[in-house]
Structure 1
Amino acid sequence: MAQVSVDPHIMKVMLSSQRAEITEHHIYTRLASVTQDPHNRSALERIGTEELEHYRTWKQYTRRDVAPDNLRLLFYYLAARLLGITFTLKMMEGVERRAQAPDPLLIAAIPEIPAILAREDEHERELIALIDEERLRYMGSVVLGLNDAIVEFTGMLAGLTFALQNSRIIAVAALITGVAAALSMGSSEYLSQKSEPTAPDPIRAAFYTGFAYMIVVVLLVSPYLLLPSPYYALVFTLLGAVAVIFFFTYYISVAKDLPFRSRFVEMLAISFGIAAISFVIGLAIRVFLNVSV
């Protein structure tokens, strides 16, 4: 490829793109080195090789070597270890696509750039789709546990707050109920998956469902253990529910290429709608049954 005339703006854009490619090459290579599954390791190595080729393409124009961004490298590496490879790589590719939209001056200098970027994007998506993660195979079980826990416990804690008006008693009642419900949900998921010949491992599915349910229970009940006022505790519980819904909806949306906003609003409306109904029911029970704690 012929060297383009060195315009400072064009050179800056090309060097930025070149640095992004070498950084991603190192991210994929490092993840491949710590991945146990041979299938996933092979996919990551292939993506890393692709990124190195992209880096060399830019180098043909810039005639320079560029060091990787070590801070981004560390961030994405840790994110992949904590949140999973598929989610992190799709998040990373989404950020890079927005950051590296073709600059008009760059396109004028190198007309083939849009085609190059389009081919890179398509190929990287195909390779990322080859990655098979256990946490995504059991995502349906996790969704079941999280959704049930959020919907049930935001409503239940709202009702208990108005019925009992005592943080400690509410927390004890909710934890007992939560443990029983988590075991029940896990058992139901086990039986459900076992009845399906092509379903994943029923024991693991049951574990993911029960564990997800219990995590949400602990998060939502914690304010009642920490705050003396049940009403303040309820506010923080509802904020915690919003945070869980937001994070998990975002996670699913990125990992599985699903729309975020509509799913988030729907789940939020269901959870808080049930909580609002439970407010009224709890208050009515307290008044009509003359409950005093």
Structure 2
Amino acid sequence: MDDRQFMEYLKFMQVNEIREKLICEGIAKSVKNKQDKETLLHIARQEQVHYDLFKKLTKQDVRPNMFSVYWYILMGKILGYTFAVKLMEIHLLSHETEKKTRKQLMLEEGNQELFRRHPEFEKLFAEEVEHELKMIQMIDEEKLKYVGSMVLGLNDALVEFSGSLAGWSFAMQSNRMITLAGLITGISATLSMASSEYLSAKNEGREDALKSSGYTGIAYLFTVVALLLPYILLPDHQFLSALIIMLAIVILIIAGFNYYISVARNEKFSTKFREMILVSLSVAGVSFLIGLLVKKILGIDI
């Protein structure tokens, strides 16, 4: 790595440090949990220390892409600060792909060159990175305590409701009729699911029974509305198109939620994603066939 490439690496790292500092400070402003707020501010102070170290070598100030900073802050408000901070770290440190990106190669070569030219940085950075990762693991966001309840609501809605919609698609062959049946069933199932979770949590002696049931109900209702949208928006006779779009939405919800969990809780994405896809689509397929058979056997023509 020549002097020009080395300076490019130093500036890249310097920009990243000030970017992460601004993100952590911005996210911390809206965090109510005092311990988590202090953890985020502590990480921000560490990033400032790193920035100052790189500044001594580059001898200049740098500015990050503020759109990226605001994007992570917004993500922290919507999806939770645990997800935003961990995703921020993953994007810098990830080496999971077999084909490494130019950025990843530059980081590896730059680190080696930095430690060769300035050996004192190696121990300092190893300790700081380890400490920072420990600090991130200490973040205890309330939302993540109820992930189990959200998984319960999503799983039930995706499996049961997508199966029902698939069955109704051929049994009724009318988007208006399917929407009517879906709204009645979906709202009833949401209330039933939330109340069941409440009673279950209450019987376990948990003080957060109401919150737990709330997260379960919200996850279920969100899924119901999302899956019904194609039937609501498309013309009455396009039930097959609505069915295909509904199944695509099922896959997107499963992918999105599992990605969120994999980042926020450091869990493997692929295994759970495959399991949920297999179960949901299998039930939908069986229900679709049942709807077709029932319609033929009973000779009902709606």
TM bucket (normalised to shorter chain) is: over 0.9
Report the AA paired with residue 222 of structure 1: L
Question: 2:52 corresponds to which residue?
Answer: 56
Report the AA paired with residue 96 of structure 1: L
| 1:209 partnered with 2:216 | yes
**d(CA) in 1 for partners of 2:243 and 2:123?**
54
Shift of residue 106 of structure 1? 4.7
Match of 1:29 among 18, 25, 28: 25
Question: 2:300 corresponds to which residue?
Answer: 291
Report the AA paired with residue 209 of structure 1: T
Shift of residue 120 of structure 1? 3.3
Q: TM-score normalised to the size of structure 2?
A: 0.90
Match of 1:107 among 83, 108, 112: 112
**Deviation readout 1:230-253 (Å, 9 max, x if unpaired):** 111101101111111010000001
**d(CA) in 2 for partners of 1:57 and 1:261?**
39
Pairing 1:1-293 to 2, within 5 Å after superposition: 7-98=3-94, 99=103, 102-104=107-109, 106-111=111-116, 112=119, 115-197=123-205, 199=206, 201-228=208-235, 229-293=238-302
Kept in 1, the 8 Å contact 2:167–2:292? The answer is yes
Query: How many percent of aligned residue pairs carry the same amino acid?
Result: 40
**d(CA) in 2 for partners of 1:274 and 1:150?**
10
Shift of residue 128 of structure 1? 1.3
Kept in 2, the 8 Å contact 1:17–1:100? The answer is no
Shift of residue 218 of structure 1? 0.6
**d(CA) in 1 for partners of 2:251 and 2:89?**
26
**d(CA) in 1 for partners of 2:162 and 2:125?**
46
Shift of residue 269 of structure 1? 0.7
Report the AA paired with residue 37 of structure 2: R
- More displaced stretch, 40-49 vs 101-110: 101-110
**Deviation readout 1:195-223 (Å, 9 max, x if unpaired):** 223x4510011111111101100110111
**d(CA) in 1 for partners of 2:17 and 2:43?**
11
Q: Is there any run of 5+ residues in structure 2 with no aligned partner, and where?
A: 95-102
Shift of residue 34 of structure 1? 2.5
**d(CA) in 1 for partners of 2:113 and 2:72?**
33
**d(CA) in 1 for partners of 2:18 and 2:279?**
45
Kept in 1, the 8 Å contact 2:30–2:77? The answer is no
3-state SS, counterpart of residue 287 of structure 2 = helix
Q: TM-score normalised to the size of structure 1?
A: 0.93
Shift of residue 118 of structure 1? 3.6
**d(CA) in 2 for partners of 1:268 and 1:186?**
24
Shift of residue 57 of structure 1? 2.0
**d(CA) in 2 for partners of 1:226 and 1:168?**
10
Kept in 2, the 8 Å contact 1:138–1:200? The answer is no
Kept in 2, the 8 Å contact 1:87–1:254? The answer is yes
Shift of residue 105 of structure 1? 5.3
- More displaced stretch, 157-166 vs 52-61: 52-61
How many pairs does the alignment contain? 288
**d(CA) in 2 for partners of 1:151 and 1:34?**
36
Shift of residue 117 of structure 1? 4.3
Query: Are the structure 2 counterparts of residues 109 and 143 from structure 1 closer, same or farther at C-alpha, using a change threshold of 3 Å?
Result: closer
Shift of residue 31 of structure 1? 1.7
3-state SS, counterpart of residue 147 of structure 1 = helix
Shift of residue 119 of structure 1? 3.0
Shift of residue 109 of structure 1? 4.6
3-state SS, counterpart of residue 66 of structure 1 = coil
* RMSD (Å) for aligned C-alpha atoms: 1.7
